[in-house]
Amino acid sequence: MTHDTGPVLHAKGISKFFPGTIALDEVDLRLEPGEVHALLGENGAGKSTLIKCLTGAYQRDNGTIHLDGQEVSPQSTADSQRMGIGTVYQEVNLLPNLTVAENLYLGRQPMRWGLMARRRMNAMARESLAGYGLDIDPAEPLTAYSVAIQQVVAIARAVEMSGKVLILDEPTASLDRDEVQLLFSVIRQLRDRGLAVVFITHFLDQVFEISDRATILRNGRVVGTRVLADVSQKDVVTLMLGRQLESQVHDRKPAKAGETLIEVENLGKRGMLDPLSLALREGEVVGLAGLLGSGRTETANLIFGAVPADQGRILLRGKEIPVSTPREAVKHRFALCPEDRKTEGIVGDLSVRDNIILARQASQGWMRPIPRAEVNEIAERYVKALDIRLASLDMPIRLLSGGNQQKALLARWLATNPDFLILDEPTRGIDVGAHAEIIALIEQLRSDGMALLVASSELEELVAYSTRVIVLRDRKQVRELSGAEITPENIVHAIAEHGTPAEEGAR
C-alpha cells in the first residue's frame, strides 16, 4: 500500500487533431504519487493541449486516462476537478472583488440556517492557508494581496476541491524570486502529502530546482521522460529543441560611433516615473534593468507616448518632437513591442497577415490601403525571416503560440522600418528556441544601425546584448553601466545598493 501502488494518473496514447494539424500524437504521461513532474517543450509542442485534454477542456480524439487505476473521461474542467485533477493557470482565475475566504469556498460555502456562515468560513480559510505557511486575513479582498499569495490561494482551492493531481500552468511567470520560493515551499509540501504535481514553465532553473521528473514534448509527441537528477539542463534543452543549442558567444562589440538619435531629457510623470534622461545613438542597444515595478515598463510607455508624460522632452536628431500619443511616436519611426502581448500587442481575431501589416497601414492612413500583393510580400518576408511557424497567414493570430505571436509583433514593427525600437520584455513567456532567435535578432538590428531600448528582467540576456544598461529602482534612474561594467553582478549591485545618487544619464 505504500509504494508500488501504481501511478495516480496514467494517460496512454492521447491524440488530438485540429483541422489540418495533429496537436497530440499518441502521448503518454505517467504521474506517480508524491512527485513533481515537469512538462517541457517549446511553444506549440503540445503542452497546453495535453493539459486541456486531461482536464476535459478539450475532448481527446484517442487514448485513455486512468486515475487511481480507474478509467476516467472528464467532459469538462468541473468534471475533472470532481475526479481529483485541479488546475491553476498563470493568470489567476479567481474573483478579485471577493474576499480570500469567499474565493476559497466559492460554490461550497459553509452554510448556517440557509445563510452563509461567514465567520466559520473565515476561520476555515485561515486554518487552511496557515497550512501553506500563509498568515493572512481571509476577510480581506483578494486584490489586497500579491499575485504570489493569490496564486497560493488558487492552489489551496484546487487542492481542497481535487486533491489527487495538481496542474500548475506557468505559475511563476509573474512572480519575483522570493515569491517563487514561497510557491515552491507550498509545492514541496503538497508533494510530501502524496499529490502528483504537474509543473509547466519556461524557466529551466526552476524545473531543476523543484521537479523530480520531466516529460518533454516536441511537435505533439513525447520525446522522452527523464529523472532530472540524472540529466543536465543541456540534455533537456537538446531534447526540447531536437538539436544542440550552440552556446551563445557573448562577444559584445563596442557601439559603432553612430549619430545620436534620441535624447530623452527629464521625462517623467508624477506618481509613475521620476524624471529620467537618456540618449541613444544609432547602432546601440540600451538595456533597462530593475526589479518588477521599478519603472521599466513605465519608461518604455512614456517614451512611446502610450502614457503621456507630464514633464520633460524628447529630442530626435537634436530637434524637439511632441510624443503624447503612440500615433505621433510611430510617425517619428518609433516602435514599441509591449510587455503584455495579449492585451497590448496582438489583435486576436484578426489574421496573422493583418496583424503584421497593422502598424504600417495605420501610419499610412486608411485612405491608402497597402495593395494586397505588397501585403502578402511583406507578411511572407517576415514569416520567413523570423521563422514564424503557422499553418496559414489567414489564421487568427490568437491561435499562434506565445513565441510566434511575439515574432509576429516584431514583424509588425519591423514592417514600419523603425529607427528606434523599444522592446519591453521581448522574451517573456517564450520558449528556448524563440528566445535565442530574438536575442540574435536584437543583435542583428543593432548592427544594421537601429537604436534599441530593451527592458528585461533577465540579466544574463541584458548583459548579452546591451551596449549600455540603465538601472532603475523605485521608479527612479539609479545607475548607468557601460562597456566592461556591464555584468550581472554589477547590475544586481546597482539594484540593491541604496542612497547612491544617480550617475547623470545622457552622455
Partner 1 sequence: MIGPKHSTFKRILPQLLILAAALAINLVVFPDFFDIDFRNGRLFGNLIDVLNRAAPVAILCVGMTLVIATRGIDLSVGAVMAIAGATSAAVVVEGHGWVTALLAGLGAGALCGLWNGILVAVLKIQPIVATLVLMVAGRGVAQLITEGKILTFSNEGLIHLGAGVVAGVPTPILIWMALGALVIFVVRRTALGMLIEAIGINERSSRLAGINSRVLLVCVYLVSGLCAALAGVIVAADIKGADANNAGLWLELDAILAVVIGGNSLLGGRFSILASLIGALIIQSVNSVILLSGMPPEFNLVIKALLILAILVIQSPRISYLMYMLRASGPQPQPDTAPLPKTQKEEAQ
Binding of partner 1 at residue 369 (CB under 8 A)? Answer: yes
Question: 397 Cβ partners below 8 Å, 6+ apart?
Answer: 346, 347, 348, 350, 351, 352, 355, 405, 408
Alpha-carbon Rg for the chain in angstroms: 25
Q: Report 44-73 residues binding partner 1 (CB under 8 A).
A: 61-62
DSSP string covering 188-214, please?
HHHHHTT-EEEEE-S-HHHHHHH-SEE
Q: Which stretch binds partner 1 (CB under 8 A): 159-167, 190-198, 355-363, 490-498?
A: 355-363
Residues in binding contact with partner 1, number by CB under 8 A: 38
Q: Report 376-415 residues binding partner 1 (CB under 8 A).
A: 412
Binding of partner 1 at residue 19 (CB under 8 A)? Answer: yes
CB of 382 to partner 1, least distance (A): 15
- Supply 45's cell numbers: 509542442
- Supply 82's cell numbers: 470532481
Q: What are phi and psi for residue 76, nearest 5 degrees?
A: -155, 170
Question: 16 Cβ partners below 8 Å, 6+ apart?
Answer: 22, 23, 24, 49, 53, 58, 60, 61, 62
Q: How many CA atoms lie within 13 A of 6 on its CB side?
A: 8
CB of 334 to partner 1, least distance (A): 9
In three-state secondary structure terms, 499 is coil
CB of 197 to partner 1, least distance (A): 32
Binding of partner 1 at residue 363 (CB under 8 A)? Answer: yes
Choose which of 364, 444, 447, 487 interacts with partner 1 (CB under 8 A): 364
Residues 322-341 vs partner 1: string with x where CB under 8 A?
A: ---xxx-xxx----x-x---
Closer to partner 1 by Cβ: residue 279 or 408: 408
d(CA 370, CA 333): 18
Residues 434-463 vs partner 1: string with x where CB under 8 A?
A: ------------------------------
Binding of partner 1 at residue 428 (CB under 8 A)? Answer: no
Binding of partner 1 at residue 113 (CB under 8 A)? Answer: no
Closer to partner 1 by Cβ: residue 39 or 358: 358
**Nearest residue to 116 (alpha-carbon basis) of 99, 133, 128:** 99
CB of 363 to partner 1, least distance (A): 5
Binding of partner 1 at residue 345 (CB under 8 A)? Answer: yes
**Nearest residue to 296 (alpha-carbon basis) of 193, 423, 210, 392:** 423
Q: Which stretch binds partner 1 (CB under 8 A): 148-156, 278-286, 342-350, 430-438?
A: 342-350
Instruction: List b or e across 90-102, with b for residues whose CB sees 16 or more CB atoms inside 10 angstroms.
Output: bebebeeeebbbb
Instruction: Catalog residues that contact partner 1 under the rule CB under 8 A.
Output: 15, 17, 19, 22, 61-62, 304, 306, 325-327, 329-331, 336, 338, 343-350, 354, 358-359, 361-370, 412
